[in-house]
Structure 1
């Protein structure tokens, strides 16, 4: 209790000191004589803001990155990019963070700045740990340590020890983690790196919550709180107070635990970050539930769920609404252009008629003038001839104008024809959509309705209902698969859909789809083997290729009998990479092969009577065409099928490490 009072009394003075530090950096910025110096000061200001306001910290880091880019200050830009990545990591946006960290790493390698390289590898390791990839995390930490030792950067070395301790803590090797945390804290105390020293002390105290004598962790946590107060690191105090509360709870001192949990929650609310509010609210829910104060427990549970939900990706409903809006706006724009072209055409015809009338009248007047001149005075013959020549010139100009207008009308006609063809294509697309929805999507619902009516009429026992619910599950799987394919196919048909080409690790893409289809494969005891080398990199639209692989895997499992085998393997050629999905299933009759990738949809039952939609291969063909690739099939009835994706090979062979440095993983932390 006395420690809490001391911290509360100390807080106003610390906040005042924080303001002074910010003011000092701003004064330095105003007095800086070079842009490179300004970049460094803005980065320091960003670091200062990260202690209390992550949003301001990111804003300053982006300003530094923009200025460094403008003056081509690569080292400063790399430092700013690492700070931007750190801000995304604090918000739980690991994919964005990793993108900035890889960009910083590439700049560090260009400049040969070992400290930047070491820092970037360290940050990447943190992201891999948060993404539950300890093997890659340790690999990145080891690279960071190598460069930090070469650069004699004690600060980065101590941070590597601290983060390696986190990995061992995750693995349950608490004594090893404790040893590394203490080693890091010793170096940080020696170099006066108070920010990281506070983190290491927190980690030491937190590990004791997992050991038999948790009270040993309290001195370390209170020391961490004292340091964070000194450097005004409000964000770290959220986890400090939460860990103190957890220790008091383990020691049976629930009142003390509740006080520190509320301190953690108060600071989290001030930051406005859902990540920290969720952590504190979850702890308060647990403590109030232990006290049987269920009203408060429910309140904090609702807060925890609310802010956890905010951390999830946005609903696909918003994306669908945006696509629909774009389509409607595009259609309206085409209609407006058609009306405008019609009006312009009418204006051109009217002007053309006027010109013809004027031309006729002019010609008549000229002829009358000539007759008068001939009859009145032959001496004016030379003058009259000159006038005729001038008239001929005017007629030529008018004829050229008429010719130009005719060409313009022809051009407008071609544009109208093109627009009409596009409208006709859109109409055909709409009819296909309605046909699929009215027939294929309605059939499973009719089947489900019949089963529900049967259950309402008869009281069925468990043995009778189980097959019905199994059929329900299959119908729902069919509907889900149909809707996913329908949405993907619709998106591919819309003219607004653009390719998003990126470097993609084909092994991880294949493995992701193997995991997605694992449940169905296990039901049929089918072995799905991913033989794609883990360093196969291609430049492609990851989302489109992902849909194609998933469809081919689902088809292979559908038509492979129980106990069968499905393989994914790659063959590299000089200009292409061929990804093949093979099975030892039913195979495809020769009469069906020409229809596989056409819009003549058909479907057959799988080996477990699974139904399909007939959309998968048609969609796959269209997507492969958009990727400038091909899809081919080899099949022998009764022995199995092999579907091959032939993709252009646009990236020279390099080591996996070099590819990762250049940002091959589009998931960043």
Structure 2
């Protein structure tokens, strides 16, 4: 289990390193370039025209990794100068560097807009350099936002353009970024191939190969080739040391600590973590400190030094929280959970487990969202391919028409008057051919239109299915998974803590029972809602139903929850109440949802009641409570579109499906539903249902009168 944690920590370390420098050339040289930047700024005011625009672009490029806001200013100024002097190349490159500055600031939307402007300008002016950098920038933004197909397409276009320009360093960056794309999708084998190619390109260019070695080492570790990864990392460390790149030295040592920890070389792991920690303090490397402290907590945990393990685990968790890196926070919390268990602090371990489960839920939701974006990107890419194919077919037919026209024109000129009759016949034939071609084009247009309509229909179906699926997954992830994680933690405490007395065990058993009832209640709502959404309808079978029987059954179902909260349940129905004409399962579900909601928002010593009265040919059923009530805005919008849920008085959670299902079943049963509420006083949910036919009530009265 510890090795699995460390593997996750190593993967997080790699992705953090990528976020720092993947998309720029190795930038340890910034301090060495400071003098050049200062010189350019000093002479900037003396320059005009093309010289000033180029100097501004140079400053924007050089200063971007450290001060992106200044880079953005210089790039915008360069665009203004280029526009004033009609400098096409500098105008397009200014948009490129505006995009790079936004990307460095983390504003991917603005970066994408700037790169698209640059690509449009480069296409219009036929400037391959601007096009190459614009495609490269769009590949970066696509990779960060999860549009992998789009990112791959832009990188390939950029690769072809830079190849024609013989830009070796940019080809190297593209190779590295493609490796990062596959690594982010956990396709480590393909990522390793790209990193190896980047290493070879760096050697061919005669530049430092330290970054490629760092990537190769981390990827080898992800492929369980830890020994090979350690060799690569030591080579990278040597090159970073020669470059005096303190940040990269600290980073590589933290990864080496994780690698040695995976091989149970605890002494070496501790040494490298300590050295990385010392270096990180010199440049405020908060995320590296979080990684080192979490790694040291695992080292001390395995050594059995629980006090030291807890100290460093807590420091790692605090630093991870400060940096807001979800992956590192999760690893720090996981180490603290096991350390607290080993120390016998089961309550703290349970609290951490619940917090970590919520964090995992947010990560899973994000992954689901990214998967949806990736599928839409693939669909859009396929649609573009289909459109290009159709355009090529139309162009081919038009070209064929032009060729035929030229051929027949030459025949007409060469034949002269002698071939006048023949020309007339040929023109007739040509007209027929043209009509046939036009018919073919019209037919293909019709076929393409029908194909597009079919694709749109399929997309609508896919969007609807994805929406239903995402809602189901969301309920499973948030409202089923978290209670199950809590149940698991309770059961682990129940088994691992024999010192608990009988009262404590009985309390835990009661809590487990409440959790199980809540899960059953949630599953029932989810099942009914899924059937209505996926199949379009749920067949109802109305019959004569005695409301008192179902009302008492509902109160008995919620008895444990009411006792736990200290809330009184009551059924107060008229003695001569007619029978309802409704599907029994639908009535049972509606009453359980309304009573459950009433209990959820009623505090201790409160009361929940089921009442009824006859109104003409309908029976009005009321579920009243003395709970917190609702304000006017909440009350007026509670039966509106969408699914919402709020925490109860004891922080109870719900799916938000109960009222949606209740409204749907009541209206399909020929009734209506509403609510009356005042904040701080309580709420009354009511619904109207038809009275059962006379013969049904008569039969019931006769049956009840028999001895």
Q: Specify the TM-score bucket, using the shorter chain as the normaliser.
A: 0.3 to 0.5
Higher relative contact order (CA 8 A, sep 6+): 1
